[in-house]
Amino acid sequence: MATNIYHPGSCLGCRDLLMFMMNLASKPGLHNTAHHSVAQTVASLVVTQPVSEAFTLVQNFLQEAQRHHSDWQHIFALLCIGEIGKRIDLNQVPGLGQAISDSFDPPNKEVRLLLLNYLNQSISVFYR
């Protein structure tokens, strides 16, 4: 006898899925490629939301990137913003440009290298 896993009113919503993905990304030992894949998934969820909600979520990621709790939280927040920015125009998000510029000035060389690598990949995709 098959059971139906969908029950109206009890399925996961976008916020639930976003929280799940954020928790997954915060696990220690997650590989760089996995962070990027999770960021792509987060972006896919965010762009399904109304533009005002998507901008609010981008601002949340921006605040997270500026907190610098850990290098991986910083990188993951910027990866999410970058992936969202591939799908929707983020020019209306206040302070985004400055926050990204500030991200290239962390003391950790690994953060700078990962950000430069991601930027390079994004530019090469843009010009194909």
32-55, pLDDT tens digit by residue?
778 888 999 999 999 988 988 899
- Is the residue at 4 inside a domain? no
- Is the residue at 112 inside a domain? yes
Query: What are 87-113's pLDDT values in tens digits?
Result: 888 888 888 888 877 776 756 677 677
- Give the chain's domain count: 1
Q: How far is CA 31 from CA 46, 65, 76, in A?
A: 23, 19, 12
Of the listed ranges 12-21, 41-50, 110-119, the least confidently predicted one is 110-119
Residues 6+ apart with CB under 8 A from 59: 93, 94
Note down the domain range covering 89.
15-22+32-126
- Is the residue at 3 inside a domain? no
What is the model's pLDDT at position 42? 92
